[in-house]
Amino acid sequence: MRRLLNTLYVTTQGAYLAKDGEAVAVRVEQETRLRVPLHGLGGVVCFGLVSASPPLLAACAEQDIGVSFLSEHGRFLASVRGPVSGNVLLRREQYRRADQPDARALLCGCFVQGKIINARTVLRRFLRDHGDSAGAPAIASAASSMADMLDRVVRATTEEQIRGIEGEAASLYFGVFDGLILTRTRDFTFTTRSRRPPLDPVNCLLSFVYTLLAHDVRSALETVGLDPQVGFLHRDRPGRPSLALDVMEEFRHWLADRLVLSLVNRGQLDPKDFKRSGSGGVVLADDARKDVLVAWQKRKQEEVLHPFLDERMPIGLLPHTQAMLLARHLRGELDAYPPFLWK
């Protein structure tokens, strides 16, 4: 089985990454703060004013270690990778299916079923643990409605119908999301999803963790030879990794949202961990961003059972596993793409 490799996240502004033998050295003001062997890395993610030496970038490319550059607050800027892996015939098939309405509808249905099933499981798990909470009745009603939506997805015949149901499910889910927050303060409340920019701490956390998830999914798709830009559920748009967003859908609620809820409900973050940006949005303070990255890494090391493969594996390997299953479907080895279903 593929080994879960670490991701090096560099958030210190002004840091410089250099190749030091067979390791990456993180230097700040010419002082080496950290040294990490290359053989244990699966990726490097740099936030803000972080630079890297050409020899290090070359070594990472040769060893299939993706290096990504994000803005200080998580907006994707660029990435450096080695030669594209995988068979060109796989990408040809991906493009062919993306141009066929029936094939698009089939995959749209798989992605949306995975998303709704996992969202419903998140709500039902909350009801099991906190059935006496104030928001429980609304959450129970939403979970029941999602069961009906799943039936509608199965019966849907066009991608437009499926996208419409997905939008309804997302609206229903986020309509009761505030009820999942047990820390009842005015700083940690949720009224609606705001993205660019996020307007409150909860939306700030959701956007940041979604960025981390998108990076992992995008890297996994590239590793198996798929083009992350060409999707099925998400329409093509210049600069948008549509396929990465497709595959993300089955992970958003049970992985990203639950991590955010855990950080908030357990009191691991408080209002001073957030600040207002010049654009009026809310961003994470430097130390809080590091805390979220540590929590993300720890969560990825936890193991879950993959129901389709009947095999336990670290959460961090799931994006690669799902990318492999999607590639198998596109090659004709699987009749349908099996989304990961959290239990």
The answer to whether residues 65 and 100 belong to one domain is: no
Domain boundary among 52, 80, 108: 80
Q: Enumerate the β-bridge partners of residue 313.
A: 304
DSSP type of residue 257: I
Q: What is the pLDDT of residue 3?
A: 66
**CB under 8 Å to 280, separation ≥6 — which residues?**
197, 199
302 among annotated binding-site residues: no
Is residue 55 domain-shared with residue 112, that is, in the same domain? no
d(CA 325, CA 343): 19
Same-domain status, 56 and 148: no
- Assess if residue 247 is contained within a domain: yes
**How crowded is residue 287: how many other Cβ atoms within 10 Å of its Cβ?**
10
**Number of structural domains, the chain?**
2
- Both 74 and 92 in one domain: the answer is no
pTM: 0.89
The C-alpha atoms of residue 227 and residue 94 are separated, in whole angstroms, by 8
Is residue 194, in this structure, part of any structural domain at all? Answer: yes
Residue 233's SS3 state is coil
Tokens 């705001």 found at? 194
Examine residue 337 and state whether it is found in any structural domain, yes or no: no
Q: Are 74 and 211 in contact (CB under 8 A)?
A: yes
Closest by CA to 188, choosing from 283, 85, 269, 244, is: 269
Domain of residue 276, CATH code: 1.20.120.920
Residue 46, classed as helix, strand or coil, is strand
Instruction: Report the C-alpha gap between 67 and 46 in whole angstroms.
Output: 8
pLDDT of residue 186: 72
338 lies in some domain: no
> What is the C-alpha to C-alpha distance for residues 302 and 4, in angstroms, rounded to an integer?
11
Shared-domain flag, residues 76 and 153: no
Task: For 100-124, give one letter per residue: b (16+ CB within 10 A) or e.
Answer: eeebbbbbbbbbbbbbbbbbbbbbe
CATH of residue 67:
3.100.10.20
Q: Is residue 336 part of a domain?
A: no
Structural domain boundaries, residue 246 = 88-331
Asked if residue 42 is part of any domain, the answer here is yes
In a domain, 271, yes or no: yes
pLDDT tens per residue across all 343 residues of the chain: 566 678 898 888 899 999 999 999 999 988 999 899 999 888 898 888 999 999 999 999 988 888 988 887 777 788 888 877 667 899 999 999 999 999 999 999 999 999 999 999 999 999 999 988 888 999 999 999 999 999 999 999 899 999 999 999 999 999 999 999 988 777 788 888 887 788 889 999 999 999 999 999 998 998 888 999 999 999 888 888 999 999 999 999 999 999 999 999 998 998 889 888 777 788 888 889 999 999 999 999 999 999 999 999 999 999 999 999 999 999 999 999 999 999 8
Residues in a beta bridge with 312: 305
- Please check whether residue 341 lies inside any domain of the structure: no
Please state, in angstroms and as integers, the Cα–Cα distance from residue 296 to each residue in 31, 81, 216, 242, 337, following that order.
Answer: 27, 23, 11, 23, 26
Same domain assignment for residues 173 and 32: no
The domain boundary residue, chosen from 80, 111, 139: 80
